[in-house]
Amino acid sequence: MGRNSRALATAALMSAALAFTAIPAGAAPVTTTQSTACPTGWGSLAKSGASHTSEPLTNIRTGRHACFDRMVIDVPGAGQGIGYWVRYVSQVHQDGSGRAVPVAGGAVIEVRVAAPSYDGTGTPTYPGRVGRPLPGVDLTGYRTFRDTRFAGSFEGETQIGLGVRAKLPFRVLSLSDRIVVDVAHNWTGAR
């Protein structure tokens, strides 16, 4: 073996040794992931859509997403254009009585849906009780939502108090059988 061959062999062995010592056994493989930015531009001003339905709401549920927390108000059979008014308030006041409904959080969103929580005979279609948390909604592990309160139904409209961590941007979607309220985790669109 010539002098150049020994030098090349030594260099190859040293490179291999460095490769094995540079990455410890059991280390996780290096992967690159492309981070998708969250939607921005929703804002925190009041949002509304005008329309009324005689169909009652039947359920209110929440969900967690990578970029926002979501509340869904189900109004089966309502068709297009369920009316809504969603805005930040200092305090939720129950329609009819004017009674304050305490909602915990750094900021409070009042959600009004133009659908009653009772049917044409006055029988409740949603089991919410005024001033109490929404039935079946557990906010454990949510990044933005802090509290939910049922504020009641009056003259065909239902009120909900939504406590959030801080005044953050939100959007409202009116679909054929539900209203969706998404509140972003932050203002920047970062995950």
Going through 53-128 in order, the beta strands assigned E by DSSP cover: 59-64, 68-74, 84-89, 92-93, 100-101, 107-113
For residue 178, CA distances in Å to 103, 131, 185 come to 23, 23, 22
Q: Report the DSSP pairing between strands 59-64 and 92-93.
A: unpaired
Side chain identity at 34, as an amino acid letter?
Answer: Q
pLDDT tens track for 75-120? 998 877 789 999 999 999 998 899 999 999 999 999 999 999 999 8
CATH number for the domain formed by residue range(s) 47-184: 2.60.40.3500
Structure tokens that stand for 102 in this block: 């305490």
Q: What is the pLDDT of residues 47-82, one digit of tens each?
A: 999 877 778 999 999 999 999 999 999 999 887 778
Query: Which residues make Cβ contacts (< 8 Å) with residue 176, sequence separation at least 6?
Result: 78, 79, 80
